[in-house]
Amino acid sequence: MGFDITSIRNDFPNLQQTVHGEPLVYLDNAATTFKPQSVIDAITNHYSHETSNVHRGVHHLSEVATAAYEGAREKVRAFLNANSTKEIILTSGTTDSINLMAQSYGRALLDEGDEILITEMEHHSNIVPWQMLCQEKGCVLKVVPMNDDGELIIEEFHKLLNAKTKLVSVVYISNSLGTINPIKDIIKAAHAQGTSVIVDGAQAVSHTEIDVQDLDCDFFAFSAHKLYGPTGVGVLYGKEALLDTMAPYRGGGDMIASVTFEKTTYNVLPYKFEAGTPNVAGVIGLGAAIDYLNTLDFTDILQYKQKLLAYGTDQLSSIKDLRLIGTAKQKTSILSFVHPLIHAHDMGTLVDEQGIAIRTGHHCTQPVMKHFGVPATSRASLAMYNTTEEIDALVKAILHAVEVFQ
Amino acid sequence: MGYDSKTELYQQVILEHNKKPRNFGKMDDATHDAEGYNPLCGDQLHVYLHINADNVIDNITFEGEGCAISKASGSMMTQALKGKTMDEAKALFTEFHDLVTGKLNPEKCEHHLGKLAIFSGIWHFPSRVKCASLSWHTMKGALDKEQTISTE
Ligand SMILES: Cc1ncc(COP(=O)(O)O)c(C=O)c1O
């Protein structure tokens, strides 16, 4: 099929604009990706022609909207290679998915003294829900450390994993470092200990093909907006047998089979976790994003992004005194860096003047910042529609910033 | 490199104060002090004041980590406040706050900001306003005897 960058860029209307008089260079894809026209059209179409609630009415539009909504669920199932759509819970995002896990699965499973194992490179959304649970239940949060390249110290993981570990929750790909963790090994070792594993796949879905059966993960969370889809939609995949044992997390409409004031019986999977009117248009948009990706070849995308990463790493490394944060052997196209003369926020403002969008700050991973002894980093995160010319523009803008601060 | 800066944000004065912040360091005999924190960027700074029996700030210092805007703002604040009374300092806080939030146009309104008027353009950068105001909020917190100030 080949990888046609020009044609891909043409699919994303957001790319076709100038910022401060310069062509926009968008390098903040780990925060959120742009949406192809087909996703925007799918959402517009829902609001223009198919607006209706789902699972409620017998009228025509409700049937149409329900079919589109459930069709999107099936697309997600196929995208993850899950066994059944019963295993696909639609949420509002990764954060919501992890909170569901903590409040439903975690709360029922964990007792005082039990341990939850996470890593030093987790996003705050895979730290705070567990801390809240630990506070409530008296369990203990254990943290697998990383080395100075931003790689997990896997021997430490094996040491920390023990009979008291009731849950392992790990980020597949780090949003602040780009590290790809050896997720399959982690899952295998945890299963040997009888421990379930939750995978935070927020960054992974746009970077690598996901097969939840091959990974054998018990749960997998991601957000549509980092996969060229809309904000406000996410997914929690869970093995059916485990989801079956879990109690609902929120109560309301749609998640029930019958309600009387004496007793409520819950709906079947996946609906028992989907209380209230869902983000119908958003879910349809997620389905369209998956359709869009299916027109491309993941191997091509991956190769192209690895090429961008290698080029970007070379170019940034050539800047005097610039330090790359996150130099794992296995990593994706995320380039975090610091410069001794320039605070990340000044860097962000100065490159923005040239129309270049990067992220500056702690990236919701304050423990990572602490590890590297920096308050913040600048981060360029590259998507499949970025180009080496855009990396050149970034390098030029950084050199200009250095000159200003010299 | 090939182009000029397009904004007025990083003027020489700011860059110079960033490089050589005035009154930078800890004060051992401070009568008032507070810690300021900007959770957005992790910037942290500490402001120390020595206030004499006449309620005059006879010494003021700051220390900490931050971007050029926050460092330069802290540095210029210490220069502006040395010798001022507590009430004058609080009044100047209000003027500075109005300046960086775009409520006070230094070219149109009467003010006592002097060199601090250089920060007037920052309200065009909403995410950076807190960088400029962190030291001032921390100073005010110290005067009001609050220990920790957060910009959120
Ligand atoms: C690794 C990782 N986990 C979790 C999240 C949270 O995702 P969301 O804000 O979409 O819930 C993010 C997004 O920043 C992320 O990068």
Its ipTM equals 0.86
- B1, B15, B128 member nearest A400 (Cβ): B1
Pick the CATH number of A41-294 from 1.10.3300.10, 3.40.630.30, 3.40.50.720, 3.40.640.10: 3.40.640.10
**B135 to chain A, minimum CA–CA distance in Å?**
16
CATH topology of domain B3-150: Sufe protein. Chain: A (3.90.1010)
Cβ–Cβ below 8 Å for A354 and B69: no
| Least confident among A113-122, B83-92, B138-147 | B138-147
User: Which has the closest alpha carbon to A36: A14, A16, A11, A15?
Assistant: A11
CB of B3 within 8 Å of any CB in chain A?
A: yes
The nearest CA of chain B is from the CA of A324 a distance in Å of 18
Closest residue in A to B131 (Cα–Cα): A345
CA dist A166 and A170 (Å) reads 13
Would the CB of A165 count as within 6 Å of ligand 1? Answer: no
Mean pLDDT confidence for A64-75: 96
Q: Summarize pLDDT for A369-399 with one digit per residue, the tens.
A: 999 999 899 999 999 999 999 999 999 999 9
CATH 3.40.640.10 region(s) of chain A? 41-294
Q: Searching chain B, which residue's CA lies closest to the CA of residue A359?
A: B41
Evaluate if residue B5 carries a pLDDT over 70: no
| H or E stretch covering A220 | strand A219-223
Q: Which residue has the higher pLDDT, B39 or A79?
A: A79
A217 classed as catalytic: no
Of the residues A343, A354, A400, the best mutation for testing chain B's interface (the one with the most B CB atoms within 10 Å of its CB) is: A343
- Between chains, do B131 and A345 touch, taking CB under 8 Å as contact? yes
CB within 8 Å of A179: residues ≥ 6 apart: A121, A146, A150, A151, A152, A173, A326, A328, A330, A331
B17-39 pLDDT, tens per residue? 999 999 999 999 999 999 998 87
Are the C-beta atoms of A332 and A207 separated by less than 8 Å?
yes
Task: Decide if B42 touches A, using CB distance below 8 A.
Answer: yes
- DSSP designation for A105: I
Question: Average per-residue pLDDT in chain B?
Answer: 90
Measuring CA to CA, how many Å separate B118 from each of A272, A402, B99, B114, B139?
58, 22, 10, 9, 19
Q: CA B58, CA B81: separation in Å to the nearest integer? A: 9
pLDDT score, position B145: 84
Residue range A198-210, pLDDT digits in tens: 999 999 999 999 9
Q: Which residue in the set A343, A349, A403 is minimally distant from B66, CB to CB?
A: A343
CB within 8 Å: A350 and B5: yes
The C-alpha atoms of residue A174 and residue A119 are separated, in whole angstroms, by 10
* Residue ranges of domains in chain B: 3-150
The answer to whether A10 and A364 have CB atoms below 8 angstroms apart is no
The pair of three-digit structure tokens given for residue A56, joined into one six-digit string? 């409620």
Query: Is residue A110 helix, strand or coil?
Result: coil
CB-CB under 8 Å, B42 with A362? yes
Which of the residue ranges A77-91, A92-106, A245-259 would you say has the lowest mean pLDDT? A245-259
> How many CA within 13 A on the CB side of residue A190?
27
Which residue in chain B is spatially nearest to A22 when comparing CA positions?
A: B6
How long, in residues, is chain A?
Answer: 406
- CB distance B10–A350 less than 8 Å? yes
From A341, which residue of chain B is nearest by alpha-carbon distance?
A: B19
Quick check: B42 and A361 CB within 8 A? yes
**Mean of pLDDT values over A164-186:** 98
Q: Is residue A122 in contact with ligand 1, taking CB distance under 6 Å? A: no
Domain covering A5-30+297-405 in this structure, CATH number: 3.90.1150.10
Using a 6 Å cutoff on CB, does residue A92 contact ligand 1?
no
Say if residues B116 and B89 touch (Cβ distance below 8 Å).
no
Distance from CA of B6 to the nearest CA of A (A): 6
Q: How many beta carbons lie within 10 A of that of residue A4, not counting itself?
A: 11
Encoded amino acid at A368, one letter: V
Largest CA distance in chain A: 73
> What's the whole-number mean pLDDT along residues A68-82?
98
Q: How many separate helices (H) and strands (E) can be counted in chain A?
A: 15, 17
Question: Which residues 336-375 of A are in CB contact (within 8 Å) with B?
Answer: 342-346, 349-350, 353-354, 360-362, 366, 369, 375
**Among A134, A139, A217, A364, which one carries the catalytic annotation?**
A364
* Phi, psi (rounded to 5 degrees) for B34: -155, 160
In this prediction, residue B150 carries a pLDDT of 72
Q: Which residue has the higher pLDDT, A24 or A262?
A: A24
| Structure confidence at residue B2 (pLDDT) | 42
The more confident residue out of A257 and A305 is A305
Q: Model confidence over A116-154: pLDDT tens digits? A: 999 999 999 999 999 999 999 999 999 999 999 999 999
Task: List chain B residues with CB under 8 Å of A399.
Answer: 1
Query: Does A137 lie at the interface with B, CB-CB under 8 angstroms?
Result: no
